[in-house]
């Protein structure tokens, strides 16, 4: 479990995670409304070198950005809760990009089986706890590296 006590802690977590990401990685962000999923997405995009303003793609569902060395796809699937619509997710998942998905439970049937899940739980106004779940060897290595790096701080 990783403790987040302020915005700077969230940014530190996002930058640490991004150090270990590579093309094709899928990151699922879980948490209630206001938990910090979009904020974490912004920090990941910033760490990837995205210069444009990253905001919630709630109405577009998917926004793509060019980072320094990698593309960044940011998905917010909140509006797909009652939908069975496939918006061509495979094209994004198979792209040489880092893909971050908020509200991924609403498109679970389209998700690749291997991914990294970041669960953000609100403990009070500013504090969060983060737990990481890895599916697949590649993501298990990322999880171990991030947890090791953040526990040594």
Which domains, ranges and CATH numbers included, belong to the chain? Answer: 2-151 (3.40.50.300)
> Is pLDDT above 70 for 146?
yes
User: How far is Cα 66 from Cα 75, in angstroms, rounded to an integer?
Assistant: 15
In whole numbers, what is the pLDDT of the chain averaged over residues? 90
> Kindly report the CA angle at 39 between 35 and 45, in degrees rounded to 5?
145
Q: How many C-beta neighbours within 10 Å does residue 124 have?
A: 7
Asked if residues 54 and 46 have their Cβ atoms less than 8 Å apart, the reply is yes
What token pair was written down for 153? 């701080």
Separation CA 153–CA 37 (nearest Å)? 23
- pLDDT class of 82 with cuts at 50, 70, 90: low
Check residues 119 and 55 and name the one with the higher pLDDT.
119
Q: Is the pLDDT of residue 83 over 70?
A: no
Query: Average pLDDT of 129-146?
Result: 97
Whether 127 contacts 35, CB under 8 Å: no
What confidence score (pLDDT) does residue 138 get? 97
Rounded Cα distance between 87 and 22, Å, is 23
Band of pLDDT at residue 5, cut at 50, 70 and 90? very high
Count of Cβ atoms closer than 10 Å to residue 13 Cβ: 25
What CA–CA distance (Å, rounded) separates 120 from 89?
A: 24
| 61 has a pLDDT exceeding 90 | no
Question: Looking at residue 34, what is its pLDDT?
Answer: 86
pTM: 0.91
């Amino acid at each position: 479990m990783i403790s987040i006590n302020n915005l700077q802690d969230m940014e530190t977590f996002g930058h640490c995670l991004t150090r270990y990401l590579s093309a094709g990685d899928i990151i699922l962000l879980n948490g209630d409304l206001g938990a910090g999923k979009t904020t974490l997405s912004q920090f990941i995009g910033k760490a990837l070198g995205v210069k444009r303003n990253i905001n919630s793609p709630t109405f577009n569902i998917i926004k793509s950005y060019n980072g320094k060395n990698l593309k960044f796809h940011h998905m917010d699937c909140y509006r797909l809760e009652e939908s069975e619509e496939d918006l061509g997710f495979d094209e994004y998942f198979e792209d040489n990009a880092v893909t971050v998905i908020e509200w991924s439970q609403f498109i679970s049937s389209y998700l690749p089986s291997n991914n990294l899940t970041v669960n953000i739980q609100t403990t009070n106004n500013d504090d969060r706890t983060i737990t990481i779940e890895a599916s697949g060897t590649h993501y298990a290595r990322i999880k171990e590296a991030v947890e090791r790096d953040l526990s040594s701080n």
